[in-house]
Amino acid sequence: MISPNSSLPNPHQSWHSHPVADTLNTLQSDPTKGLTSAEIERRRLHYGSNELVETAGRSRWDILVDQFSNVMLLMLIAVAIISGVLDFISLQDGTSEGLPFKDTIAILAIVVLNGLLGYIQEVRAEAALASLKQMSSPQVRVIRNGQTQEVEAHELVPGDIFLMEAGVQLAADGQLIEMSNLQIREAALTGESTAVNKQVVLDLDENTPLGDRLNMVFGGTEVVQGRGKAIVIATGMDTELGKIATLIQGVENEPTPLQKRMTQLGNVLVTSSLVLVALVVGFGFIQAGNFSRLQELVEVSLSMAVAVVPEGLPAVITVTLAIGTQRMVKRHALIRKLPAVETLGSVNTICSDKTGTLTQNKMVVQMVQTLGNQLRVTGEGYSPDGKFFAQEAQVVATKAYSEIQGVLVAGVLCNDALLQQDEAGNWGILGDPTEGALLTLAGKAGLFQSQLDEVFERVDEIPFSSERKRMSVICCDRKKTDAYTLFCKGSPELILNCCDYYQFGDHAHRITAKERDEVLRMNAEMASQGLRVLGFGYRFLDHLPAEGEGAEQGMVWLGLVGMLDAPRPEVAEAVRRCKAAGIRTIMITGDHQLTASAIAQRLGIAEANSHVLTGQTLEAMSQADLELEVEAVSVYARVSPEHKLRIVKALQKRGKFIAMTGDGVNDAPALKQADIGIAMGITGTDVSKEASDMILLDDNFATIVAATEEGRVVYTNIRRFIKYILGSNVGEVITIAAAPILGLSSVPLTPLQILWMNLVTDGLPALALAVEPAEPNVMQRPPFHPNESIFARGLGSYIVRIGIVFAIFSIVLMVWAYENHPDSWRTMVFTTLCLAQMGHALAARSYTQLTIEMNPFSNVALLAAVIGTTALQLMLVYVPVLRNFFGTSVLTQEELLICFGFSSLMLLWVEGEKLFVRFFMQRRMRPMRPE
């Protein structure tokens, strides 16, 4: 029907006012076969890719300006200006020595460089996050070349036929061809949060507002319930979403808690340095009794101001977080929001779904049980090769067992999955594994979808949802169009409640309490073996029920199907690791309590006698009661998504820091409420992914544990280099402040030298500390308290203590060298401070292990940084050009040795502290210092 030469229509506004048949005609598409590959290619060239052009978010310019609004950089700019004015005055006076404006230029260069570095890092981080998001870009189910298949959302073209189901975020605008119970939340477009009921046949005016175009569906909106089929009418920027140019998948750019704390730290540092400057200057004036020392005191102030700013820190932090996301992605955890990298380390409770996360989600039916018969089923995977056994004897034809045959038919008709064979002949399913397993089961009895489709036509359905825990379809006999049958499958207890009869042989009998008890007993028996059990029922109808008529009642009970969903082999070990790491694992599932309990026991999440809380009991509990209960419950069964939200809130009330998984459309509120919301990469709905902080690319529980471990490593490393960098800053400031107080004639360090120290001699080793490998005990200690300050557990006091020790060593050296080496005392102080930081970097790798006890090659980057930085420092002293520029003087061999000697005291001090803790304070300190 498509002619390759026909011209393609341009998108227009009024599709909704035409019947869908017209639209199909205009766009030359077929509702059952879709487009051909050649036609899709032609349309892709004509209409372009189905992508929104990024428009929202901060502009590049905003990002750049933001870099310079930081208080520390503003202080540096002020220092540069004052220093420039001083240089200018001395030029005028003719008292200038060396290169004029050197410090000003250097400081401004650093400011610009810092700003640019921050800018590049932020832009890259945004790009990286955006590309990570791309990796989880939604798939769309389409009909192409007469086949149902999944394609990437950006591959859609106008005329494509696409299918929708609950949880899907639509990727393009379309007109409905058919639908069942379709409800769509269009908040992204209209701001209206209640879902809209869609309709196919409508006579709409051309001017109908967007929100009332009930026969249309729009890109960016979310299917809350039901199913539907539509034809794409607009893609990319031609969609309604594209028109309002709102990028809902825009990159979120929240500062991490750490970045916020760093801003606070900047304020504290700047304020305290200003106070210190005021004190030193005041003291200087009082000492001199007049303004004769004005210039010297101004120089001291400038140096102190430069010294207090940890210029290298922001870059190191961003790099560390970026490395963290990369490491996590290698372990199949995709970070969607940067704060998750560092906050993952604080997780102390993981609430996980069962199906697919703790288990493999590869369902294989083991047993079919009716009130009259019980058949065991063999076979593996989704291949419809397997046998049926009654007791120990193989059953040749299941047709002889009428009720069993009924279960198989209901299982195939009440089903949205597809059983397919690929080119290599391997069987697989498209859709829900629970449903796929039923198709395989029927296939083993020689019953396939295609055969039943010839006899029955689905005319209506009530879709599955985690709240309803069941699904029904109404089928019409193709020969007798007024004979309808409703087939229902779902949670056995619920289906049984809707049944008044039971099938026995070819007849339906009234069900009594005896049969009901028997069914429940069978259900419990299968569930306690860890099987996932579904119940089946049917009912004849003489007319199509009207909306709200409640068709799922007065049904005939057919039987039970028990399927095995084996636990993932790596999960038991991951749960054990969690226990060792002080993290509690909680299972929250929609499945039966006995199934849940059996699997939980196998995985070590619960004991045989552990209490399982069901959704029903939870429903009857007040939130306050639930809060009392949550500490003791590790398995929640038969829960609905809204219960998940209550459980998270109750746990949070008890001070827990929660990572929670979810996959359904209604899990989004719980995912948002959890401290770390985790969506499933494979089975998760688009809506749940949008609401999450992290996506599991392999849906695997063990991946959460791996990501938590990485989070701990990142947090520990951040603390490690912060203590290293800030300790040095404190030391520098005190040393500089001491010079005028002790009556020394000039400042020991120029702003240029300080910048060198902060950026190069501190910065490079700090970067190397950021990649320090995980300590072996990282998952054998309790998690950090999420609200603790980054300076908690002794870090703040360490920085002050080490800063003071650092200053004492350099002041002693300074005073001694000032007397004995008047020409090179400043260079000696400068060199000693730099070299001392090298020793400090080596020692800072561990809180507890001595440097000699650690393998130097386990962090080669640090080794290289220390050797490289030492060489650079020596070049500053011995290469004439650099010497001139940095204002250093040549050191004699003896002087250099003295510098090395003094600087090694720093390493010895830190090592001495470790030994002190080890021998005298171990008992008291250990719980405080889990690193």
> Closest distance between ligand ATP and the C-beta of residue 913, in Å?
49
With beta carbons less than 8 A apart as the criterion, state whether 194 and 161 touch.
Answer: no
684 vs 930, beta carbon nearer ligand ATP:
684
Residue with tokens 């290599």: 424
With beta carbons less than 8 A apart as the criterion, state whether 306 and 107 touch.
Answer: yes
534 vs 906, beta carbon nearer ligand ATP:
534
Cα 402 to Cα 405: distance, rounded to the nearest angstrom: 5
Strand bridging mode 635-637 / 612-614: parallel
With beta carbons less than 8 A apart as the criterion, state whether 711 and 344 touch.
Answer: yes
472 vs 729, beta carbon nearer ligand ATP:
472
State whether residue 286 is helix, strand or coil: helix
Shortest CA distance to 668 belongs to which of 167, 307, 145?
167
The amino acid present at 340, given as its one-letter code, is A
- List beta partners, residue 223: 184
- Sheet with 584-588, strands from edge to edge, namely 333-335, 694-696, 676-680, 658-662, 349-352, 584-588, 635-637, 612-614
Cα 271 to Cα 681: distance, rounded to the nearest angstrom: 47
Q: List all residues 6 or more positions away from 899 whose beta carbon is below 8 Å from its beta carbon.
A: 813, 828, 831, 832, 835, 891
The amino acid present at 443, given as its one-letter code, is G
What does the binding site for ligand ATP look like in residue numbers (CB under 6 A)?
353-355, 432, 434-435, 464, 466, 469-471, 489-491, 534, 589-591
Token output for 928? 């405080």
353 is catalytic: yes
> Closest distance between ligand ATP and the C-beta of residue 358, in Å?
8
> Closest distance between ligand ATP and the C-beta of residue 841, in Å?
47
> Closest distance between ligand ATP and the C-beta of residue 619, in Å?
15
CB half-sphere exposure, 917, CA atoms < 13 A: 17
State whether residue 470 is helix, strand or coil: strand
CB atoms within 10 A of CB 125: 18
Show the CA angle centred on residue 763, arms to residues 761 and 764, nearest 5°.
75
Which residue among the candidates 87, 173, 353, 460 is catalytic per the annotation?
Answer: 353
Cα 923 to Cα 108: distance, rounded to the nearest angstrom: 50
321 vs 598, beta carbon nearer ligand ATP:
598
> Closest distance between ligand ATP and the C-beta of residue 350, in Å?
14
> Closest distance between ligand ATP and the C-beta of residue 648, in Å?
14
Euclidean distance between the first and final Cα of the chain, in Å? 70
185 vs 470, beta carbon nearer ligand ATP:
470
369 vs 859, beta carbon nearer ligand ATP:
369
- List beta partners, residue 659: 350, 676
Which residue lies nearest ligand ATP, judged by its C-beta? 590
615 vs 930, beta carbon nearer ligand ATP:
615
CA distances in angstroms from 27 to 7, 36, 148, 320, 533, listed in the order given:
10, 13, 19, 51, 45
With beta carbons less than 8 A apart as the criterion, state whether 4 and 38 touch.
Answer: yes
> Closest distance between ligand ATP and the C-beta of residue 577, in Å?
21
511 vs 600, beta carbon nearer ligand ATP:
600
Q: List all residues 6 or more positions away from 458 whose beta carbon is below 8 Å from its beta carbon.
A: 413, 473, 474, 475
CB atoms within 10 A of CB 552: 22
**CA dihedral of residues 11, 17, 20, 23 (deg, nearest 10):** -30
CB half-sphere exposure, 675, CA atoms < 13 A: 25
Token output for 688? 């749940």
The amino acid present at 869, given as its one-letter code, is T
Q: Among positive and negative, which fits the CA dihedral 49, 55, 57, 58?
A: positive
Cα 739 to Cα 280: distance, rounded to the nearest angstrom: 10
DSSP 232: E
With beta carbons less than 8 A apart as the criterion, state whether 339 and 775 touch.
Answer: no
256 vs 593, beta carbon nearer ligand ATP:
593
Shortest CA distance to 529 belongs to which of 581, 460, 598?
598
249 vs 434, beta carbon nearer ligand ATP:
434
Q: What percent of the chain is helix, strand and coil (3-state, nearest 5)?
A: 50, 15, 35
> Closest distance between ligand ATP and the C-beta of residue 904, in Å?
59
> Closest distance between ligand ATP and the C-beta of residue 467, in Å?
8
674 vs 752, beta carbon nearer ligand ATP:
674
With beta carbons less than 8 A apart as the criterion, state whether 438 and 365 touch.
Answer: yes
Q: Where are the beta strands (DSSP E) in 667-727?
A: 676-680, 694-696
252 vs 642, beta carbon nearer ligand ATP:
642
> Closest distance between ligand ATP and the C-beta of residue 431, in Å?
9
CB half-sphere exposure, 113, CA atoms < 13 A: 10
699 vs 709, beta carbon nearer ligand ATP:
699
Shortest CA distance to 167 belongs to which of 597, 825, 680?
680
Catalytic residues: 353
